[in-house]
Structure 1
Amino acid sequence: MQWFSIVAIYGLFWVLSAFLVMPFGLRPPHEAGETVEQGHADSAPVNFRPGKIALRATVLAAVIFVLYYENYVNGWITLDNLNFFGDPPVKDLGY
């Protein structure tokens, strides 16, 4: 696997991980006991910490990428394992 592929795949895993870990630990104002100022969304979190989200996403993406790379090297799960419907029927084109 080339280094550019490694960086691109890790980047995809990082973005996915960021969206997965983003809602954990966030609290809206009504749960935190704070009042919402006029013009603010009622669901906007009061304790948004992008650094903590980035750190969690980095760790999760690293774990997922290590599992992906080990599968790539060792071939634990292949496309043949994911073929649930069997081979497609062969059509006779009459040539």
Structure 2
Amino acid sequence: MDWFTGTAIFLTMWWVVLFCVLPIGVRSQEETGQIVAGTEPGAPVIANIKQKMLVTTGITVVIWCVFALIVTSGWVSLEHPFGRLTR
């Protein structure tokens, strides 16, 4: 796995993990009773985006390291993901 492939896989994993982490711990304006006039009642009161991005990065680093170990060990190959296709 070269650096470009590793970076592309890391970024893809990061976005997937981010979308999994985003809804955790979010409370809407409607749930807290603090609805601001002119806003969507389902909008979050405090989103904590910076904290969620840091958590996302940490989780992704762990997942990517496990993935990189599996690929570099030879258990899985990125060269022929479906095996050799012979006719």
* TM-score after normalising by structure 1: 0.71
Paired residue for 2:58?
59
Aligned residues with identical type, % of pairs: 29
- Cα shift at 1:42: 1.0
Q: Compute the RMSD of aligned alpha carbons.
A: 1.9
1:32 matches 2:32: yes
Report the Cα distance in structure 2 between the residues aligned to 1:24 and 1:12, rounded to whole angstroms.
Answer: 20
Equivalent position SS for 1:62: helix
Deviation readout 1:43-82 (Å, 9 max, x if unpaired): 10001121011101101111111121122123446768xx
The one-letter amino acid paired with 1:19 is: F
Consecutive unaligned residues of structure 2, counting only runs of 5 or more, are none
Consecutive unaligned residues of structure 1, counting only runs of 5 or more, are 81-89, 91-95
The one-letter amino acid paired with 1:53 is: K
Equivalent position SS for 2:60: helix
Report the Cα distance in structure 2 between the residues aligned to 1:4 and 1:53, rounded to whole angstroms.
Answer: 25
Give the alignment of 1:15-30 within 5 angstroms: 15-30=15-30
- Cα shift at 1:33: 3.5
The number of aligned residues is: 80
